[in-house]
Amino acid sequence: MQVSVVIIARDAQKLIPACLSSVEKLTHDIVVVVDSRTTDHTADLASRQGCRVFVRDFDSYSGQKNYADTLTANDWILSLDADETATPGLIAAINDLPDIPVYKAYTVIRKNKIFGKYIKHTNWDPDGLIRLFDRTGCRWRIKRSPFFATSSK
């Protein structure tokens, strides 16, 4: 299964190198959409690391994500924010998926940090979000659930 990575960012020059290096073994198609109000070197850093970079006015979270999804070379997308990294376990799990996956979307479990420490309580430990999906059957939306996915069945 061929996967593209989509990252949206604003003023993320300190964060995006770790994000990009975490997915470099997954794909060569990394799309970074940078908010036009960015005041640092996020776009330059991503471009130097071989990403396709686009600058766009921020209209909404889902608007940025949906726009970025249209720019990928592959239908399957791993969607990240610039402050997130993919673990080697996640990359291995994605690589182990069959060429024709059973579902149109998959939940990714994530561990959250605040002030450099993992949260070990509340409903953030860990939480799961749909972040791996087939863009032909899924779109981001603004409603209560930020993501809408259609089933493959």
Predicted local confidence at residue 69, as pLDDT: 97
Domains of the chain in sequence order: 3-142 (3.40.50)
By C-alpha distance, which of 89, 54, 90 is closest to 65?
Answer: 54
Tens-digit pLDDT profile for residues 38-53: 999 999 999 999 999 9
Q: Please state the pTM of the whole predicted model.
A: 0.85
**Cα separation of 31 and 44, whole Å?**
13
Each residue's pLDDT tens digit in the chain (153 positions)? 999 999 999 999 999 999 999 999 999 999 999 999 999 999 999 999 999 999 999 999 999 999 999 999 999 999 999 999 999 999 999 999 999 999 999 999 876 555 566 556 665 566 778 999 999 999 998 754 455 444 444
